[in-house]
Structure 1
């Protein structure tokens, strides 16, 4: 039997996502989630790096903003590398395969703006 690598997380973006294009014109968006945890030893916050590729990357870049509550599903990726000084480093991130926006306040603001835009179009006719 093969291994299982699945991560499901829900948290808030700590900053606006960063969209970049690869040399092959593939969209890549990186963002970081803050996830509040409660455990035996009190409260803590985990900060998880996430990356989305292709069309999902473009959607994330367009709709996600700092403070937005989202759920992501994907696989955990661990990369080992050497920095400029030759020291060994490890980078861990979730490669996002699914994303869902969870907070309604952003939907309400976007819906209101769209409704005002539609009304303005009708009035200008």
Structure 2
């Protein structure tokens, strides 16, 4: 089974493009913290070793447009999808191998602005904000499903406390 669940922060603004057939494709990178103890994290930082993985992600169609329109660098995102590998030849004729996560469902977790204003993760912004409108529209279009939800009806939110997250 090829299933991936990620929660992290966007490392840059998503890039939205369209294929010649008109399909939307969005590419973005997610920084996901490694599961390290406090001591190991401090050791890694002292030794200039990475404490996060930077994962290349791709979304298609309505999910791609939703991400491009409502997510920005620094925003937290939760997504589920699958791993896809590929290869191509670069301009020098060398074979380059790729690994991407294809995002199938996403969830709004927290914006960079809300975290700098002291709001906790999973706290919703005021009603009728662009955030709410995006979730409502995506729910209607079927391109959004709440991360961690067992229901397929796209209603409501599934709240997760930071203590419940395994990383």
Q: RCO higher in 1 or 2 (8 Å CA, sep ≥ 6)?
A: 1
Q: TM-score when scaled to structure 1? A: 0.79
Structure with the largest fraction of strand: 1
User: What does the per-residue CA deviation read over 1:13-67, in whole Å, with 9 as the maximum and x for residues that have no partner?
Assistant: 0111000011011111111000111337933110001111001111011111110
Please list every run of 5 or more consecutive structure 2 residues that lacks an aligned counterpart in the other structure: 42-50, 116-123, 132-167
How much does 1:113 deviate?
A: 7.7
Q: Which runs of 5+ in 1 are unaligned?
A: 115-125
Please show how residues 42-121 of structure 1 align to structure 2 within 5 Å.
42-43=40-41, 44-103=51-110, 105=114, 107-108=124-125
Considering only CA atoms, is the larger Rg found in Structure 1 or Structure 2? 1
What is the root-mean-square deviation of aligned Cα atoms in Å?
2.4
TM-score (norm 2): 0.60
- Once superposed, which parts of structure 1, at least 4 consecutive aligned residues long, lie more than 6 Å away? none
